[in-house]
């Protein structure tokens, strides 16, 4: 199975990209797969228990065991010590986790009358990717989405009134993806959010070309399609097709945080701004 894993920091534009790709006849975008059922509504507008895609999966799967993590040390040393997201550190049975995800992906593909060639999972969980990379049944593809770190910091700051933890989060997540790419021979596609927002058709054409697909008309009119995304930001339930870069950070992010970000991580931001 071809599984496209969108990886990146939070607030990087993954929900938008997932929705657009889901409009292709050969792709099904499922949103944050590890968060299926965590919220009340699927992006189709129904409760997950009533959604035509998810209701049977919810009945027969233990969705509490989808979200996993490793300690920073285990990630850096590439150790297979994975844990479930619970208060207690419960170890993951690697083979069972892989098999369960393979079966769930199979169920998703089997839901559609028209054959789908790709599933897009925008969980953005690097540890989840690296464990599923061990599957003999899944062909994992990395879609690395990067947004200007100052814009990401501002997006978090508006919500939590803190900046420094989220600057670090932006850096740490992108560093993990860089490290992941170096030690795994997976297909890799880099996507800059700003390019997607400014010229969405061109960027989507480039992404599809890397997957061996061609652009289909009306993909950017993503509200004309029925979607079944889980998790992600609130735009998955909104009614607008507008694709517009949010540059409010340039005016509103306090100068002290902009300076701090530039001192600490400006070099990486500069690198990604010029990466193709």
Give residue 170's pLDDT.
Answer: 97
Give residue 161's pLDDT.
Answer: 92
What average pLDDT does this structure show over 246-262? Answer: 95
Q: How far apart are CA 202 and CA 206, in angstroms?
A: 6
* Cα–Cα nearest to 263, from 117, 164, 187, 135: 164
Residue 232, Cβ density class (10 Å: 0-12 exposed, 13-18 middle, ≥19 buried): buried
Give residue 238's pLDDT.
Answer: 74
* Cα–Cα nearest to 238, from 16, 13, 12, 37: 16
Range list of β-strands (E), 45-169: 68-69, 83-84, 118-121, 139-146
Examine the pLDDT at 116 and tell me if it is beyond 70: yes
Higher pLDDT, 239 or 131: 131
Percent of the chain past pLDDT 70, that is, above it, reads 98
What average pLDDT does this structure show over 222-240? Answer: 82
What average pLDDT does this structure show over 54-81? Answer: 88
Examine the pLDDT at 52 and tell me if it is beyond 80: yes
Helix or strand or coil: residue 117? coil
**pLDDT band at residue 87 under the 50/70/90 scheme:** low
> Domains along the chain?
2-273 (3.40.50.300)
β-pair partners for 3: 119, 140
Give residue 114's pLDDT.
Answer: 85
Examine the pLDDT at 63 and tell me if it is beyond 90: no
Span 121-179, pLDDT tens digits: 999 999 999 999 999 999 999 999 999 999 999 999 998 999 999 999 999 999 999 99
* Cα–Cα nearest to 121, from 15, 224, 223, 43: 15
Examine the pLDDT at 42 and tell me if it is beyond 70: yes
Percent of the chain past pLDDT 90, that is, above it, reads 74
The 8 Å CB, 24+ separation contacts for 50-58 are 51/228, 52/111, 53/108, 53/111, 53/228, 54/228, 54/230, 56/107, 57/104, 57/107, 57/108
Give residue 191's pLDDT.
Answer: 96
Query: Under 8 Å CB-to-CB from 90, ≥6 apart: which residues?
Result: 83, 84
Give residue 119's pLDDT.
Answer: 97
* Cα–Cα nearest to 225, from 4, 13, 18: 18
**pLDDT band at residue 208 under the 50/70/90 scheme:** very high
Examine the pLDDT at 268 and tell me if it is beyond 90: yes
Query: Under 8 Å CB-to-CB from 115, ≥6 apart: which residues?
Result: 26
Give residue 85's pLDDT.
Answer: 80
């Amino acid at each position: 199975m071809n599984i496209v894993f969108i990886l990146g920091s939070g607030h990087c534009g993954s929900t938008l990209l997932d929705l657009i790709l889901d409009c292709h006849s050969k792709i099904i975008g499922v949103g944050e797969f590890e968060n299926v059922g965590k919220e009340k509504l699927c992006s189709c507008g129904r409760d997950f228990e009533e959604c035509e895609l998810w209701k049977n999966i919810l009945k027969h799967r233990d969705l509490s065991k989808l979200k996993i993590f490793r300690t920073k040390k285990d990630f850096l040393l590439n150790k297979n010590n994975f844990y479930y997201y619970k208060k207690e550190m419960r170890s993951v049975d690697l083979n069972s986790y892989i098999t369960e995800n393979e079966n769930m992906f199979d169920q998703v593909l089997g839901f559609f009358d028209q054959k789908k060639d790709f599933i897009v999972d925008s969980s953005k969980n690097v540890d989840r990717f690296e464990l599923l990379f061990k599957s003999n049944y899944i062909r994992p593809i990395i879609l690395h989405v990067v947004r200007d770190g100052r814009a990401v910091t501002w997006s978090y700051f508006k919500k939590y009134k803190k900046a420094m933890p989220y600057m670090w989060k932006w850096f740490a997540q992108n560093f993990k993806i860089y490290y992941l790419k170096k030690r795994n021979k997976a297909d890799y596609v880099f996507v800059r959010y700003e390019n997607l927002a400014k010229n969405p058709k061109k960027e989507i054409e480039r992404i599809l070309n890397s997957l061996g697909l061609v652009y289909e008309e009306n993909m950017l009119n993503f509200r004309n399609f029925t979607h079944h995304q889980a998790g992600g930001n609130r735009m998955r339930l909104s009614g607008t097709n507008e694709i517009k870069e949010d540059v409010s950070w340039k005016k509103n992010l306090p100068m002290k945080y902009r300076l701090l970000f530039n001192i600490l991580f400006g070099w990486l931001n500069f690198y990604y701004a010029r990466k193709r």
